Amino acid sequence: MDVNVNTVEQSQNEMQKAPQKRDQFKAFWNRYGPGYLMLAPFMILFIIFILLPVVTAIGLSFTNYNILQPPKWAGITNYRLLFTDDDVFLIALRNTLLFAVVTGPIGFFASFFFAWIIDQLKWRNAFALAFYAPSLTSGIAMSVVWLYFFSADRYGFLNNILINIGIISEPILWNMNPDTILPVIIIVSVWMSMGTGFLVFLAGLQNIPREYYEAAAIDGVQNRFQELAYITFPCMKPQLLFGAINAIVNSFGVFDVAVSIAGMPSPNYAGHTIVAHLYDHAFIRFNMGYASVIAVVLFLLTFLLGRLSMKIFSTDN
């Protein structure tokens, strides 16, 4: 008898439990279901086209893969080849680092500096437009104009001016001479570098409450530069962080300006960049495994520098 009672109770319990679980799920679904449904399109595309590709790229970098045959495990061979045997990659790495060291910090600080000045001027919107407009243009389209300026023959503006002043007697082959290719690419990129970061800084400056400055003036802050150090910078940390990440990603991703100015491959690889090398191996030679190593190197560079800037512009303290 006892046993019977128990089993009846047990089965009753189980019968109650199952609907309970279903109720729980129902409650959960009622509360969060619509939210997850609305998030779903973004998350699915984000995982397929951004998150998984990063993981896949890391995976592929340890294989040899030419698309036609399945990937073959290669261990760290690709990495060894890239850093010890591939002189062109080392040139590309050197060019990109040089480029990034100049355009990254220059773009970043100049963006902040000019936003700071423009914020205090009359005709603020007009100045903002004039500074921002170059970054709205396509690198490909504008390089056509820049090639007029740097054109190798006497029709080139720069050569024409320099010859007239008498600094040079022969036209300089700006976009074909390995010594001048990188500087030309850098100048064009700096011209285009007042981008999103610049706008974010300008907007951030406009949102710092005026009272902060007035309070600081009472506390003994005397000049504009002290204001900058004690109020503006601390208030702007989130915007500065965004600008820094933006500058890092952009300066390491240099490609279209370089290709359209120097061509591909460029003379002596003087305009060759990491992304150009990636493109060459991935989509011209279809060495997907080897190209993935280049992608991983690029990923690590930008990601670690991004992390570093997060440390620098942390708002925690």
Partner 1 sequence: MIMAQKYKKKKKRKKFSWGWFFTYLFMFVLVAFTSLPLIYMVSSAFKPLDELFLYPPRFFVRKPTLRNFSELLTTLDSTAVPFTRYVFNSLFTTIVTVMGTVIICSMGAFALEKYDLPWANTIFNIVVAALMFSPQVTQIPNYLIVNKLGMINTYWSLIVPKLAVAYNLFLMKQFMEEVPDELLEAAKIDGARDFRIFWTIVMPMARPAWATLIVFSFVSNWNDYFSPLVFITSQTMKTLPLALQTIQGGPGQVARSGAMAAATFLTTLPTILIFLFMQSRVMETMAYSGIKA
Instruction: Kindly identify the residues of this chain, within the stretch 247-266, that bind partner 1 according to CB under 8 A.
Output: 248-249, 252-253, 255-256, 260, 263
Closest by CA to 70, choosing from 79, 80, 60, is: 60
At 180, list the tokens. 């001048």
Instruction: Report how far apart, in Å, the C-alpha atoms of 152 and of each of 149, 156, 183 are.
Output: 9, 6, 15
Among 245, 247, 258, 270, binds partner 1 (CB under 8 A): 245
Does 128 interact with partner 1 (rule: CB under 8 A)? yes
Is the C-alpha dihedral spanning 121, 123, 124, 127 positive or negative? negative
Q: For partner 1, what does the binding mask look like between residues 189 and 218, x meaning CB under 8 A?
A: --x--x-x--xx-xxx-xxxxx--------
Nearer to partner 1, 136 or 229 (CB): 136
Beta bridge partners of 63: 73
Residues with Cβ < 8 Å from 157, sequence gap 6 or more?
148, 149, 151
Question: Taking CB under 8 A as the criterion, which residues in 37-66 touch partner 1?
Answer: 37-39, 41-43, 45-46, 48-54, 56-57, 60
Q: What span, in angstroms and rounded, lies between the C-alpha atoms of 290 and 140?
A: 27
Nearer to partner 1, 95 or 239 (CB): 239
Does 171 interact with partner 1 (rule: CB under 8 A)? no
The site that binds partner 1 (CB under 8 A) totals a number of residues, namely 109
Check if the beta carbon of residue 233 is closer than 8 Å to that of residue 313: no
Question: Taking CB under 8 A as the criterion, which residues in 61-120 touch partner 1?
Answer: 67, 114, 117-118, 120
Does 299 interact with partner 1 (rule: CB under 8 A)? yes
Closest by CA to 259, choosing from 267, 270, 271, 277, is: 271
Least Cβ distance, residue 142 to partner 1 (angstroms):
6
Nearer to partner 1, 97 or 208 (CB): 208
Nearer to partner 1, 231 or 249 (CB): 249
Does 303 interact with partner 1 (rule: CB under 8 A)? yes
Nearer to partner 1, 95 or 260 (CB): 260
Check if the beta carbon of residue 278 is closer than 8 Å to that of residue 88: no
Nearer to partner 1, 186 or 194 (CB): 194
| Residue 182 amino acid letter | L
Closest by CA to 67, choosing from 286, 246, 302, is: 286
